[in-house]
Amino acid sequence: MAQTIEPRDRLIVALDIPGVADAEAMIARLGDSVSFYKIGYQLGYAGGLSLAAELARAGKKVFVDLKLHDIGNTVARGVESVAKLGATFLTVHAYPQTMKAAVDARAGSNLKILAVTVLTSYDDNDLKDTGSRFGVSELVAMRARQAQAIGIDGLVCSGEEAANLRGIVGTGMSLVTPGIRPAGNAAGDQKRVMTPARAIAAGADYLVVGRPVMEAADPKAAADAIVAEIKAARGAL
């Protein structure tokens, strides 16, 4: 994992907005404070994939968070389509067949594949309800090792798992951490949350932040504050 990433590029703002016009207004409001955006289901299904291509052409980085999981051929075709958008990151669920199909399909492009280990809204009880015999930490570790062996570029994990995963995968994979809540912000529906400084100290490379920026009275100031916290945390390492 390269250590030359600028603090601003480590913040990924989640455009969890119902429409492209509102997303464009927020992007304009954030200006140069944000260089990296995430487009997930809500916006993606409302024209957001076209916006992803526009952002890439404008020099922004884009994280397409579709969490693909299907038969290999279907995953591969989806990866090829997203690669053409100029996106930087694309998520798939960390199942071996899915990951292998995605890695093979992104060959020849600049797209990086991230594997989602365990959603940050899950805890041990939620996994038990799915029939899993593993707890969160065990399942995350197992999937991380599989992802590394397959050639996945990075992992999506909570801040709680970041330090442990660094010990498992070393510095060759990016760790992208959602569930980030600056001090004083409500956890909302996330069960495994962490402040920006703590997540960076734990080994995260990129922080995904949605509501604390999007719902702030001054989104630009909120983004600037998070970038400053990232910069300070990196300087303390």
Catalytic residues: 67
**Tokens read off for 180:** 């980030």
Angle of helix 136-150 relative to helix 159-169, nearest 10 degrees? 40
Strand partners, 229: none
Whole-Å CA distances, 16 to 64, 160, 166: 12, 23, 29
Other C-beta atoms lying within 10 Å of the C-beta of residue 236: 9
Other C-beta atoms lying within 10 Å of the C-beta of residue 166: 17
Q: Please, what's the largest Cα pairwise distance for the chain?
A: 46
CA–CA gap between residue 129 and residue 124 (Å, rounded): 9
Written as one letter, the residue type at 203 is G
Nearest to 101 by CA among 84, 78, 117: 78
**Chain position carrying tokens 């989602």:** 116
CA–CA gap between residue 167 and residue 38 (Å, rounded): 27
**Tokens read off for 7:** 């603090």
